[in-house]
């Protein structure tokens, strides 16, 4: 089992590298090769400005980036180094994120992800998330921002939510 802990300054310098490595696993969506590269990930400065960053391991091998959207917790990014996928790191990070959100008094957690990638929406369903058919408010605005950034052109995207 990996230690899940709040990110420290040294960890934050590694997170963009972990995100880029994790993104390299996404080569197909719905059985079709990506038609364009993914947009660049967050910078170290953007990571440092997050509401909460949880990391797995020492040195860190994965992270969860948490924000607030519409008064609920929002899982903005979950990334794990490719050499450590399939070992429960992502699931541990999601579980720790949900626990943190409960402790902070949030009533739900949302996220946005690719619907047709096994380690995206189906994984989150296994963690208790459900698709939000018609996102509203800031979650809908976030989906519009993702579309404008070109993510929807790569594959079907969904907003998801779990009640805490």
Largest separation between any pair of C-alpha atoms in the chain: 41
% residues pLDDT > 90 (the chain): 79
Does residue 1 carry a pLDDT above 80?
no
Taking residue 51's Cβ as centre, other Cβ atoms within 10 Å add up to 14
Q: How confident is the model at residue 124 (pLDDT cuts 50, 70, 90)?
A: very high
* 15-67 residue pLDDT tens: 999 999 999 888 888 778 887 788 888 999 999 999 999 999 999 999 999 99
Chain-wide mean pLDDT for the chain?
A: 94
Domain topology for 4-163: Aminopeptidase (3.40.630)
pLDDT, mean of residues 91-98: 98
Q: In the chain, helix, strand, coil percent, each to 5?
A: 35, 30, 35
């Amino acid at each position: 089992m990996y230690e899940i802990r709040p990110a420290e300054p040294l960890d934050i310098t590694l997170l963009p590298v972990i995100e880029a490595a994790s993104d390299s696993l996404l080569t197909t969506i719905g059985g079709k090769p990506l038609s364009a590269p993914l947009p660049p990930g967050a910078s170290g400065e953007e990571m440092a400005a997050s509401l909460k960053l949880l990391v797995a391991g020492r040195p860190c091998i994965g992270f969860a980036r948490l924000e607030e959207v519409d008064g609920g917790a929002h899982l903005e990014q979950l990334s794990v180094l490719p050499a450590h996928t399939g070992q429960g790191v992502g699931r541990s990070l999601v579980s720790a994120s949900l626990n943190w959100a409960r402790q902070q008094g949030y009533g739900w957690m949302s996220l946005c992800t690719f619907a047709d990638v096994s380690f995206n929406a189906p994984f989150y369903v296994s963690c208790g998330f459900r698709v939000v058919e018609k996102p509203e408010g800031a979650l809908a605005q976030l989906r519009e921002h993702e579309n404008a950034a070109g993510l929807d052109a790569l594959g079907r995207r969904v907003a998801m939510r779990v009640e805490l």
